[in-house]
Amino acid sequence: MTGGAMGIGRGIVERLAEAGASVVIADTDLAAAEATADALRAQGRDAFAMYADVGDADDVHRLVADTIGWRGRLDILVNDAGIFPSVPVLDMTPDDFDRVIRTNLRGTYLCAREAALRMRSQDSGGRIINVTSIDALHPSGVGLAHYDASKHGVWGFTKNLALELAPHGIQVNAVAPGAIATPGVAAMQSGADAGVDQAAVLEAFLAQVPMRRIGVPDDIARAVLFLASDLASYVTGTQLVVDGGRLLS
């Protein structure tokens, strides 16, 4: 599980661990990852924390190798690591753009490829679940063009990889969250990102959510748990939108 220390990632880790999975929590914030692992172990769950920069091929190789070294196999990969600094395109530098693509899109490719190689060698299939966004289907606001490009890319990558890996019994799907209450969204609301009035953006966004509430991490975690379970045994190459109906507006 990448990006598993906080927010949506932590919610997913908690659900998978509750269902009996041994979970590796990979994050660039090792202290937060270890705190999450400690909390799970205190509940009797099986959890381990690791530092990993998903945009670094060596880190990803080590992450997968150490995961298999810890429990002997890899059955489920959840790609949740992602960043969404807000900046309008006309103020965006090439480095701003590259940083988002490196984490969100390159990171998904590196992790999925490394995991799939191991899953194929196990001859027992596996599940790869990529956390995209409703921005993979429709922009939610100004300032996220690099993020939207990355998430459109992850959705396209998900479909093609599903086609490639289906003969090996490896299912590849995506979950597309709408507005979810996380520390990252809270930072955006505080106006920490220059150039965009994020509080106004979020207020306008919620006005278009038919269910009239912001989601919580567990809303996404339940969708991921479904795709990771035998209930989704005939599902691959799909994107499950969890947005309170936002895309209907």
pLDDT at 188 over 80: no
Whole-number pLDDT of residue 150: 98
Rounded distance, CA 37 to CA 195, Å?
Answer: 36
172: DSSP letter? E
pLDDT tops 70 at residue 190: no
Q: Is 43 exposed, middle or buried (0-12, 13-18, 19+ CB in 10 A)?
A: exposed
> In terms of C-beta density within 10 A (0-12 exposed, 13-18 middle, 19 or more buried), how is residue 190 classed?
exposed
All structural domains of the chain, each given as residue ranges with its CATH number in brackets, are: 7-182+214-244 (3.40.50.720)
Give pLDDT tens digits for 48-104: 999 999 999 999 999 999 999 999 999 999 999 999 999 999 999 999 999 999 999
| DSSP-based three-state secondary structure for 184 | helix
Within 13 A of 175's CA, how many CA atoms are on the CB side?
28
Q: What is the pLDDT of residues 111-130, one digit of tens each?
A: 999 999 999 999 899 999 99
| Residue 191: pLDDT over 80 | no
Q: Which residues are catalytic?
A: 133, 147, 151
CA separation (Å) from 155 to 58, 116, 160, 222? 24, 17, 9, 20
Radius of gyration of the chain (CA): 17
- Looking at residue 210, what is its pLDDT? 94
Give me the residue label for tokens 């150490």. Answer: 66
State the pLDDT confidence band at 46, using cuts at 50, 70 and 90. Answer: very high
For residue 185, what pLDDT is reported? 59
Residue 13 pLDDT > 90: yes
Tokens of 53: 């920069």
Q: Give the tens place of pLDDT for each residue, 134-177.
A: 999 999 889 999 999 999 999 999 999 999 999 999 999 999 99
Alpha-helix residue ranges (DSSP H) falling in the chain: 7-18, 30-42, 57-71, 94-101, 107-122, 145-165, 183-189, 198-206, 217-228
φ, ψ (nearest 5 deg) of residue 199: -60, -40
